[in-house]
Chain A
Amino acid sequence: MALVWFWPDEHFRVIFCDVGQGDAILFTYRDYQVLVDGGASNKVLECLNNNIPFWDRNLEMVILTHPDNDHYYGLISVAERYRLSYFVWGGLSRDTPNFEKLLAQISNQDVVLITPSQDDEMAIDKIKFKFYWPNQAWLVEQLSDSQEKMAKNAPSKDNKAYQNKSILAAFDDSSQLSFNDFSLIFTVSFEDFDVLMMGDADSRIQPKITELVSFPDVEVLKVAHHGSKYAFDDRFLASFEAILAVISVGANPWGHPHPDLLSQLDRYDLEVLRTDQEGDIRLASDGQTWWRE
């Protein structure tokens, strides 16, 4: 009876998990689940508990937009508890004990690593992913050791790849670059319903992105960098249309979401939902229409 009661329906769902100040977004369709980032704590587990059928111990795909603590830390506990099939990341490694823990957890499993860049596409059943950033040429330009340390290439099951493929030996704190600039930007689509995921790629890198990439119109936009004052460049926002903007944010000392950002979103006629006010935000779609649950 429990099986029938909890059996997933035919709708695609996006759940912006309330993980405090951080990102964790779960996409589900039938018994497929894709998790984008894990937040800064174990709170993501509560969201997985409530949105994945109790018998399902697999997460088909985990995508890490960039290796900042408020995006990757929760994934350590996720990788401890769930079997992961694909781990999609930018290849950026971070020399901290916690990030090493995450890589160790992933390397303990038979996970396929994917490091996508602009124009790469993937699909899980009817869920489609299209990557817009980072741009391959830009990436090469940024890295002092050029292509040898590139994390791009074919999927690999070789655990040593985690060391060999790590881009970031050349990337230290004195660099002008920020991990945010390397965030994976991609759309997640279910037929006519599209969500644009931004990671923390904010207005400091968006002029460059707009120069190299053109974005499609989407239904839902995940606001970059938790609603920072510098989340969006006007030119970037003007380059495509969206209906709903979701801000993944919790208590923080930086004043996120910034009032300037909120009025900017208002100027672009975007409806705004915030996880700090709404808790988990659940959107559903049948492919043609979409609604909030």
Chain B
Amino acid sequence: MAYFWQDNSLEKSFWVNFSNFLNCRFFLLAVLLLITWGWRFNLAVKEKRAVPEQVRVEGILWEEPKNFYSVQSFWLKGYQIETLSDYSLSVGDRLILVGKVTCQATGKFQKNCLINYPEISIKKSNFWSWLIKAVAKLRKRLIVSLERVLPPEPASLLTGIVWGNQGQFSKNFYQDMKNSGLLHVVVASGANVMTLVGLLKKSTLFLGRRLSILITLPTIIFYGFIVGADPPIVRAVLMSSLVLVSQLFGRQTKPLKSLFLAAVVMMIVNPLIFTDIGFQLSFGATLGILLFSQKLKKLLGWSDLATTLAAQIITVPMLALYFGQLSPLSFLSNAFLLWLIEPLMLWGLLLTLLGLISQLLAGLVGFFFWLPLQVFIWGGHFWAQVLPNISVSFMSAISSFALAPLLWLLLSFVKDDE
């Protein structure tokens, strides 16, 4: 605040003043939000600690139960539930479960709490469950419209990219994507939301900036609702909404600020979400991109490579820590295959719409679609075979977190673009 009166220029002092006022407001808002989160966190921890053996869990079913022989399993309020597949359950059902909980550690930092064969009752629908049912039905329709016109594997890839459909990946394909470091693009992720924002803005720009934002904003929120409530999607939808709203009012929002706000808002809604690996990876990757991608791009002159490297600076140490393994060269597969994602996303959206109108036409177009999708599948398989996957000790994983500050230091010598 000291330089308020040090600057002689009236105009400059006004802007400094204004920006300080905004910063001040942001600081206050951040403190307020963090206090709210602390309070909610305290409550959630108390509740978590007090888990009795016999629990009664009440909530809305968000995902289609997965069947395995005569058993179906699903998640409800952080518990994994297993029950007979004879129960007819569908997304949007308001369930009340009473059963015995058994928890066991599934990794260094995670535990899984299971309720086996609980008593299940379904409550009468309310507005929210009705809405979730309707959206799930729409999502299913959109996915099926693609699945009908493409062979199963390319279809699972495209529905994964466009509609976040992860349930249909074959074991081999999933393993290939995981080993080649491409899994994050074939499930709907923050990057896919950002791609959609880009596509929408580009295609509506001729309507003028304001109208373009007014179309993009609700579409993105609606898209997020269809694709699902995974942390990376919520993070990306929140961030892009914040940026779009501020653009609507003629303001520039620093992406780092919107990333921080998105994180705190999500943590207030679900105070323990920061323990979710998906949440951490999503924020880690975005933070890496915001901090490093511009400068890396300037150094390397290869946009996809720079973005992937920047995202991995923070996520690779996390993966090494949690899973004891890392694929240090997976930026190569990304650099070579990421260019396919934007056109696939755009054409996937159009093919979905076409499939809803006429399956015959979509089938004809889908015929030409097979090749780029198959190129991605073959590419993923190739990189999965070629890229080394190395085991990492706990100490090396911890020390790899030093990479980010080191890179920060090195890149501070590279000048920012004006």
Contact = CB atoms under 8 A, between A and B. Distances in A.
A57 B170 contact: no
B153 A42 contact: no
B8 interface: no
Nearest to B363: A57
11 contacts: A42-B168, A43-B171, A45-B152, A46-B153, A46-B171, A46-B173, A69-B85, A70-B69, A80-B144, A81-B148, A81-B155
B106 interface: no
Contacts of A98: 67, 85
Interface in B139-198: 144, 147-149, 151-156, 167-168, 170-173
Interface string B32-64: 000000000000000000000000000000000
A141 to B, nearest CB: 29
Nearest to B371: A2
Interface string A65-107: 0000110010001001100000000000000111000000000
Contacts of A80: 144, 147-148
Contact of A57 (B148, B156, B168): B148
Contacts of B144: 80
Interface residues of B, number: 29
B130 interface: no
B86 A96 contact: yes
A69 B155 contact: no
A237 interface: no
Given A40-B68, A73-B67, A97-B85, 18 more contacts: A40-B69, A41-B68, A43-B170, A43-B171, A45-B170, A46-B170, A46-B172, A49-B170, A54-B151, A54-B154, A55-B370, A57-B149, A57-B363, A70-B69, A77-B168, A81-B148, A96-B86, A97-B86
Nearest to A100: B88
A180 interface: no
Interface of B: 67-70, 85-88, 144, 147-149, 151-156, 167-168, 170-173, 363, 367, 370-371, 374
A144 to B, nearest CB: 23
Given A46-B172, A97-B86, A41 B147 contact: no
Nearest to B156: A45
Nearest to A42: B168
Contact of B69 (A21, A49, A96): A21
Given A55-B367, A57-B363, A69-B70, A49 B88 contact: no
Interface in A79-138: 80-81, 96-98
A14 B88 CA distance: 35
Contacts of B171: 43, 46
A43 B153 CA distance: 11
Nearest to B153: A49
A80 B149 CA distance: 11
A246 interface: no
B85 A96 contact: yes
B85 to A, nearest CB: 6
A48 interface: yes
Contacts of A97: 85-88
B370 A48 contact: no
A45 B69 contact: no
Contacts of A55: 367, 370
B67 A41 contact: yes
B152 A49 contact: yes
B169 to A, nearest CB: 9
Contacts of B168: 42, 45, 77
A245 interface: no
A249 interface: no
A220 interface: no
A54 B374 CA distance: 10
Contacts of A40: 67-69
A173 B151 CA distance: 38
Nearest to A253: B69
Interface in A20-61: 21, 40-43, 45-46, 48-49, 52, 54-55, 57
A97 B168 CA distance: 20
A75 to B, nearest CB: 13
B377 to A, nearest CB: 10
Contacts of A2: 370-371
Contacts of A41: 67-68
A2 B371 CA distance: 8
Nearest to A74: B67
B151 A52 contact: yes
B95 to A, nearest CB: 15
A243 B368 CA distance: 43
Nearest to B168: A42
Contacts of B149: 57
A69 B69 contact: yes
Interface string A216-242: 000000000000000000000000000
The 10 residue pairs across chains A and B that have the minimum distance between CB atoms: A97-B88, A45-B152, A46-B170, A49-B152, A49-B153, A54-B370, A81-B147, A54-B151, A49-B151, A40-B69
A52 B155 CA distance: 14
B152 A46 contact: yes
Given A2-B370, A45-B168, A96-B85, A81 B69 contact: no
B302 to A, nearest CB: 30
A69 B70 CA distance: 7
A80 B148 CA distance: 7
Contacts of B172: 46
Nearest to B364: A55
Nearest to A3: B367
A249 B85 CA distance: 21
B132 to A, nearest CB: 19
A45 B154 CA distance: 11
